[in-house]
Structure 1
Amino acid sequence: MATPPVCHSESDQGATSSDVLGRRVDTTRVSSTAFEGTPHAPAHARKFVRQVLGEWHLSHLAEDAVLLTSELVTNAVVHAGTGIELTCRLDADTGPAKLEIEVDDHLPERTIDETGVMPAVTLTDEVRPSGRGLALAGILADAWGVTYTRTTKRVWVRLELADGGDGQETAAGPPVPAPAAIDTLHVGVVVTDGDGLVRSWNSEAQALLGWRPEQTIGRLLADLVAWRGHGPYALSLTDTLGLGRWRGEARMRHADGRLVPVYVSHLRTKGRAQDRRSIWMVVAGDHRYVLTPPPAPRSDAGRRIKDLLDRDMPFQELLDTIARIVQMFSGGDAAYVLLPAEGGNRFGVAAGAGATAGLVGVLATGVFGAERKTPTMIEDLLAGDVELAEQLRARSLACAPLLLAGEVTGYLAVTAEQPGRFDKELTVSLQHIADQVAVPVQRARLAEQDRAHRGRLSFLAEAGELLAGVHDEELIAALTAQLVVPKIATWAAVYLTDLAGMTRLAHVWHSEERHNAALRKSLPAIPRTALDEVSWPAGPEAVLSFPLLTQGRSHGALVIGRAEPTLPLEVADLLADLCRLVALNLHTAMLYARQATTSRVLQRSLLPMRVAPMPGLESAVVYEPAEEGADVGGDFYDLFTVGDHWCFALGDVCGSGPEAAAVTGLARHAVRLLAKEHYTVADIFDRLNQALLEEDEEGRFLSLLCGELTPLPQGGALCTIASAGHPPPLLLRADGLVEAVATPQLLLGIEAGARFYVETFELAPEEVLLCVTDGVTERRDGGRLLDDGNGLAALLAECRGLSAHAVAERVRHVVETFAPEPSQDDVALLVIRAGEQGRRRPALGQVNR
């Protein structure tokens, strides 16, 4: 805060200078004041000078004097930081009357060169400041200089009061450019489409540039504009037309061939790309004041910030409002609030405002370093930090740190697309605002971090629970899109990349479901940019891409569209965590799909590709593995031709899983191979028993029912059969009687010296042979089994006169409905029926569930 001014006024000579100004001016007057070297000093200095010149009837000099004072005091605050003394001196005793303004600080050891730039600068170490303060002195003042004493350095400027001036005293206010004659003012309006073709040209544009509407409509605007960029990174006309808003100077071609300097205010409409329009309001360069909006008074920004901090509002709304206030008062194209990113040593965008606001992610260190504790102004970023210029999409930058206990907790930053847009006075005002908001922002940030952490954990827990156990990539993509819409984004699209590196659009989801089809149609089938790059907003929505990465491999990308131009850091971190979770689930789904495919191929090799038809006989098979999603369990069956007869087998391996499947494969292929070599059923059992004992170290045993069918001339077949620990096969006679036709013997794979024998019976016409595994006989409902009290025989007796297929389906249905719970064991059954004498029925029917 400024100390009370100490003023000195001398008027003992009583002289006037009416011969100089034509009106009364007091001579030899001095007024001075002292300030602390704080960011408030320039404002107090300006107010002091205005007041003094008003008292001295010199208000017509106030604009130049106040501007010079502001620059000199700002230099002293930024470069010295000591106490400051300001003196206004009016001297009309000798020669022309003159006004001198002196600014003293107490840091005499630093010098200023002839350009007004101090060799050691505290604003920024990378970029030299413009030296505008004394450069202005050379332009506006009649003389200036620097005087040193042992304890102070004095920078002074002198304004001479010209003779015979017609200066009318004016109220102090912002400088207004001298307008051209009002009758030369024409405000042209030019509208172009997305291809840059002129679609509208009003009469004012014709008056300004001479072209009639019919001469311009349908032409490229580029044909009418002599566009000239500056520097290697200057915006082209196409780039400018793609901006949301832009103001600046240009030159347009007159109908007579000359180039007309103009000032343009550009606005691009929102909407779909094909419907967007660029609107240019154009005036002659001398009338630029018509389209140049005055920045909000900087003195008003502090009051608005104070009012803002007195209100209770959500954290993000607080940051957004601060960004809007900073952008309005600074006159910049965009303003940002930067807060620490994860790790604390780098800063990222937490909020933004302005036409070009669209920055997201962590910024490069350098200007925004945790160790930089002074405000910074850079006239042209391209001169020293091209990476930051491209990241900010700007050339002018001013920023001020948020300081708390000497530590940088964030930044306020304003940017502009054109170089040289800001001054040191702005940096001082920006630092003042930063000091106002540092503590409230940090307090709100910590509270928000705690709340966000809890919400983040809750969101990720919900996502993890939703994705857990999902092994389908398409379903994972759909769930991911619906997780972020509408909580985080307006719409989302999930791209998936397969093992061959091919990327496709898997799923889209919009907050308004009726737009889903249109959204899918408008999105590219594959991303136009690399998946690990952030896509900048190209329209009214910010479109951002997040890679789905795990173990160094890309599984695709999550692309979201948001109405907000910036993405808060905590939301970006949350999406990064979600993408890691989704990528992990996609990786698991990929491995599961590969394993499932391999398993299905191997499992299918354990079952016969087809069942051999038998003339005069019909057969049906039911096979249902107990394990969900499995094609093969511990049960197996086979029916094949061996010379002039047929061989069938039905077996059940003890146990389940891959080990049981391995035994299943060994048993089925061994039976088929031995039968093809014309081994008898008994020999097949002997050899298979020996093979199991030699190959299976874990002692797995096998129940097996195996038989041969030889057709008989009178119809039916002669059956030779053996049962190794298997449920006995049942024969349904033509008269409805049911009897067991094989005696259970020792299980295979238990005893090396076991001997097996066969039994023989005749399968007469219209008789049915039913062979089942224990999944049928031992189907359980509480303490009751399906075969209790010869239940299976009773069931078969009811099937008299049915086809083999109908018998198999009847037994399957009874097994399925015997208990409310699904069966815990594999179910396999084989039905063989001899046809009616003299008739041949279809050879095979199969029910395979």
Structure 2
Amino acid sequence: MDTTRVSSTAFDGTAHAPAHARKFVRQVLGEWRLSQLAEDAVLLTSELVTNAVVHAGTGVELTCRLDVDAVPPTLEIEVGDHHPARTLPKAAPVLSSDGPPSTSGRGLALAALLADAWGVTYTKTTKRVWVRMELGEGGEPHEAVPAAVPVEPLEGLRVGVIVVSPDGVVESWNSEAEQLLGHPAEQAVGRALKELVAWRGHGPYALSLTDTLGLGRWRGEVRMRRPDGRLVPVYVSHLRSQGHGGVRRAIWMVVAREHRYVLTPPAAPMRHEAGRRVKELLDRDMPFAELLDTIARIVQVSSGGDAAYVLLASEGGGRFGVAAGAGAARGLVGVPATGVLGADRTTPAVVDDLLASDVELAELLRARSLACAPLVVTGEVIGFLVVTAAQAGRFDEELTVSLRHVAEQVAVPLQRERLAEQDRAHRGRLSFLAEAGELLAGVHDEELIAALTAQLVVPKIARWAAVYLTDLTGMTRLAHVWHSEECNNAELRGSLPAIPRTALSEVSWPVGPETVLSFPLLTQGRSYGALVIGRAEQALPLELADLLADLCRLVALNLHTAMLYTRQATTSRVLQRSLLPMRVAPMPGLESAVVYEPAGEGADVGGDFYDLFTVGDHWCFALGDVCGSGPEAAAVTGLARHAVRLLAKENYTVADILDRLNQALLEEGDDDRFLSLLCGELTPLPQGGALCTVASAGHPPPLLRRADGRVETVASPQLLLGIETGARFYVETFEMAQDDVLLCVTDGVTERRDGDRLLDDGDGLARLLSGCEGLSAHAVAERVRQAVEMFADEPSQDDVALLVIKASAALRQVR
């Protein structure tokens, strides 16, 4: 049976072809578990493809071929182009003694140096350049040895100890090293270690000998030279120790390759112990979260990994959530259910280098090595036990046996406890979200929403929380912080950026004793900030992550509503204020006071309006009431107030003003909008006081309080404005003497209701005005306002406006 593996591809003859070829070869060698050859193979491929593109200028075909039945096994890489007329230049030295370095022929020079064989094959249409690399057993690179090194029996075990200085010079060489490697101590001491070691790193991230000597610990196979030049395969256990004076020396313990297990860690007994401990753990009655954390710690310690995770499938599928973590496992919420952690993978796996196979997962886990075993229940993968390490090649196949043993023990109990926990979490989740929704409902203050959000998660879910808000202009700021220990609030706020300079998803949060996680406040495709939490626990269960995501969506929706409300209220306030006079005109010899209270929440103006201004040698005043209230009534208010002022400035009489305004309202064509209006003029009299000309179009008549306390009605009601086209209006005239008070009100005052009783029943307003003896205009206005407010327990549902004018001295002519 043919067991040769072949993988081919083709590229256009462009400058991007070498990069695509490198990526293809690295991927193929990763799938064939030959990552240790990637560095040399990728370099050779890059040179040959570059030569084909530069010298042939045609499309390129690339083929990788692995022959495992050959003796020794071989890897062959072949690059073909479609320009047979081109001849391949002969290999030449890279350096020239009489000129600059030559740039031609370097690909063949590299092939001669790195490959065991290379050649060129011509066909009628193509030219193919190939390189062949021989492999030893287990995929190790093969090197020919002139004479085989005899395998010594176990009783002939030699453990050589070599001490190397920081600059790589051998300082000590024991007698065991002499017997194993053949160099006497006096010949080895003082030489550079690199002269005695045939160092050959593999893979794109392989360390040099110098870098390896700088590591704290390292184990692996190398080849060392004997005095006759032969290469001896040995196994080395490296330790970097602290010597006298702070000098750190490297210590190598060296054995023959067949004795390597003397120096390897006793993994199997420890992993067997892990299975026994997990079995004892399952016999105990303990909370689900504690059970998961303990399993993660046992797996991490027994495997020697940097971090260990218990992953469980999410309800919606598509990813696995971190149910528990140990070691360097902070800040991870979940991983996609793809690749080595796919939902269809039912067998354990070891990945020597995640960067060569799954860069996204490597960045997510912050790891290079990974070992995992699926948690399988009735044929379904419900999760994984995962161990990771920051260095490549940390785990072996033996670890998968231990992980599978543990996974088989815990899968069914975890599934049983998980289903029960999910049911409890679902009920708690609904209760929590209902409470949060009720608390946030109707809140239109962004700062209050931020404060409530932080206090919802502390201390139930997190030790501390911070809420960042992004306004409608895109500006992000720290709005609120809350710590479970309130005395730490100021310190927490100081440690967090007040105004992040980068996107919230890219902020590096301060590293402290807690695990810091950030959740965006997103709704309708827009970000309104983020909720940042700090937890003492390393892992965040998927149920809590989903709960926080739901909470953030709820908060974002309320923030969206609050921001729109604030913007609309601000816009409405600015526009509505334009409908009111900026200031009341000063009236020498007269006091004036105004009270204005619109009924609509958040409104500054409604259906009632007032105005007081000068025209020539007299003053004009107006007090009106549009049918209804709120913004719709305010639209008619603007029309009426500005029309009155404009017509008065054009010297129209009070009657003409009412006629013209009535016609304007009818032309608007809104049959549901009527207007009552009280309009008048005040003209100074030479002997003092003022002559008042007034007309009331369906408005409550004004009241005049004489100095002796008598109160009289000084205008007769006429037809409302906006009802009849041919309506004509008339005026009435009266004189105001010193200390006389004129009170003009809207029906929000006279019709203030308490049950079936109105404030103006039985001339109640006239009696109230009669009792205002000796009061200023402002005092009279305030007394009437208080009477309206206190008349009933319920707040008024109508706009309230009143105008008070008091003659206090002889009037001066207006100039």
Structure-2-length-normalised TM-score: 0.69
Q: 2:286 aligns with which of 304, 313, 330?
A: 313
Give 2:688's aligned amino acid.
Answer: G
Query: Post-superposition shift, 1:488?
Result: 1.5
Instruction: Report SS of the residue matched to 1:362.
Output: strand
- 1:742-793 Cα distance to aligned partner (Å, 9 max, x none): 1111111122222211110001111000001111111122222111111111
Aligned-partner Cα distance in 2 for 1:411–1:386: 19
Report the equivalent of 1:263.
240
Alignment correspondent of 2:751: 778
The reply on whether 1:378 has 2:347 as its aligned counterpart is no
Is 1:299 matched up with 2:276? no
Of 336-345 and 821-830, more deviation after overlay is shown by 336-345
Let me know the Cα RMSD of the aligned residues: 3.8
Report how far residue 624 of structure 1 moved: 0.8
Structure 1 residues 537, 380: closer, same or farther in 2, change over 3 A?
farther
Alignment-derived partner of residue 14 in structure 1:
none
Amino acid at match of 1:263: R
Q: Secondary structure at the match of 1:532?
A: helix
Give yes or no for contact 1:262–1:282 (8 Å, CA) kept in 2. no
Alignment of 1:220-239 (within 5 A): none
Quick one: structure 1 residues 375 and 678, their matched pair in 2 at CA, closer, same or farther if it must change by over 3 Å? Answer: same
- Among 217, 238, 251, the residue aligned to 1:285: 251
Q: How does 1:129-140 map to 2 (within 5 A)?
A: none
Residue 465 of structure 1 aligns to a residue whose secondary structure is: helix
Q: SS at 2:336's partner residue?
A: coil
1:824 equivalent in structure 2: 797
Aligned-partner SS, 1:297: helix
The answer as to whether partners of 2:238 and 2:253 remain within 8 angstroms in 1 is no
Q: Does 1:530 align with 2:511?
A: no
Aligned to 1:447: 420
Equivalences for residues 142-541 of structure 1 within 5 A? 165=155, 248=217, 262-263=239-240, 285=251, 297-363=270-336, 365-527=338-500, 529-533=502-506, 538-541=511-514
Cα distance in structure 2, aligned partners of 1:583 and 1:620: 45
Contact 2:518 2:530 in 1 (8 A): yes
1:610-645 Cα deviation digits (max 9, x unpaired):
111112111000111122221011110000111101
Q: Secondary structure at the match of 1:727?
A: coil
The separation in 1 between residues aligned to 2:666 and 2:527, in whole angstroms, is 49
CA shift for structure 1 position 132: 9.2
- Decide whether aligned partners of structure 1 residues 248 and 374 sit closer, same or farther in structure 2, where only a CA change above 3 A counts: same
Task: Return 5+ residue gaps in structure 2 as ranges.
Answer: 1-66, 76-134, 166-200, 220-236, 255-261
- For residue 670 of structure 2, the aligned residue among 694, 697, 701 is 697
Runs of 4+ that moved beyond 6 A? 110-118, 130-135, 177-182, 229-236, 280-283, 287-296
Alignment check: 8 A CA contact 1:638 1:668 kept: yes
Give the equivalent residue in structure 2 for 1:546: 519
Structure 1 residue 310, shift from structure 2 partner: 1.9
Q: How far apart, CA to CA, are the structure 2 residues paired with 1:234 and 1:647?
A: 93
* Larger displacement relative to structure 2 (343-352 or 666-675): 343-352
Range with greater deviation from structure 2 (341-350 or 591-600): 341-350
- What are the Cα deviations for residues 700-755 of structure 1, in whole angstroms up to 9, with x where unaligned? 11111110000111211000001111111111101111111111111111222222
Q: Output the CA distance in 1 between the equivalents of 2:552 and 2:580.
A: 42
C-alpha deviation, 1:160, in angstroms: 8.0
1:764 aligns with 2:730: no
Equivalent pair of 1:535/1:544 in contact (CA under 8 Å): no
Deviation at 1:387, TM superposition (A): 2.2
Residue type matched to 2:344 in 1? E
> Match for 1:670 among 640, 643, 648?
643
Answer yes or no: is the 8 Å Cα contact 1:625–1:825 preserved in 2: yes
What secondary structure sits across from 2:334 in the alignment? coil
The change in CA–CA distance for 1:464 and 1:557 in structure 2 (over 3 A counts) is same
C-alpha contact (below 8 Å) 1:704/1:748 kept by paired residues = yes
The aligned counterpart of 2:539 is 566
Determine the C-alpha separation between the residues in 2 that align with 1:515 and 1:306.
Answer: 42
Alignment of 1:526-675 (within 5 A): 526-527=499-500, 529-533=502-506, 538-675=511-648
Residues 115, 779 of structure 1: CA spacing in aligned structure 2 closer, same or farther, 3 A cutoff? Answer: farther
Alignment check: 8 A CA contact 1:296 1:331 kept: no
1:348 CA displacement = 2.9
Between the aligned residues of both structures, percent identity stands at 77
Change (3 A) 1:261 1:235: closer
Change (3 A) 1:282 1:519: farther
Distance change in 2, residues 1:356/1:576 (3 Å): closer
2:654 aligns with 681
CA offset digits 1:346-395 (Å, max 9, x no partner): 32322111145543332361000011111101222223222222221112
Give distance in 1, aligned partners of 2:534 and 2:263: 37
Describe the shift of the 1:789–1:291 C-alpha distance in structure 2 as closer, same or farther (beyond 3 A).
farther
SS, match of residue 457 in structure 1: helix
Kindly tell me: are residues 475 and 131 of structure 1, through their superposed partners in 2, closer, same or farther at Cα, counting changes over 3 Å?
Answer: farther
CA distance in structure 1 between the partners assigned to 2:578 and 2:561 by the alignment: 26
Report if the CA contact (8 A) 1:116-1:133 is conserved: no
**Do the aligned residues in 1 keep the contact of 2:684 with 2:811 (CA within 8 Å)?**
no
C-alpha distance in 1 between matches for 2:395 and 2:347: 16
TM-score (norm. length: structure 1): 0.67
Say if 2:331 and 2:516, in contact at 8 Å, map to a contact too.
no
Three-state SS of the structure 2 residue aligned to 1:595 is helix
Task: Note the residue ranges of structure 1 that are not aligned, 5 or more in a row.
Answer: 1-109, 119-129, 144-157, 168-176, 185-228, 241-245, 251-259, 266-279, 844-849
Amino acid at match of 2:600: E
Q: Is the CA contact (8 Å cut-off) linking 2:624 and 2:678 kept in structure 1?
A: yes
Q: Secondary structure at the match of 1:689?
A: helix
What letter matches 1:248 in structure 2? R
User: Are 1:706 and 2:679 counterparts?
Assistant: yes
Aligned counterparts of 2:524 and 2:712: Cα–Cα separation in 1: 63
Q: Aligned equivalents of 2:769 and 2:422: distance in 1?
A: 71
Structure 2 residue identity aligned to 1:830: L
CA displacement 1:412-455 (0-9 Å, x = unmatched) = 01111222222212101101111111111111111111111111
- Check conservation: 2:500, 2:507, Cα contact below 8 A: no
Whole-Å separation in 2 of the counterparts to 1:673 and 1:551: 47
1:747 aligns with 720
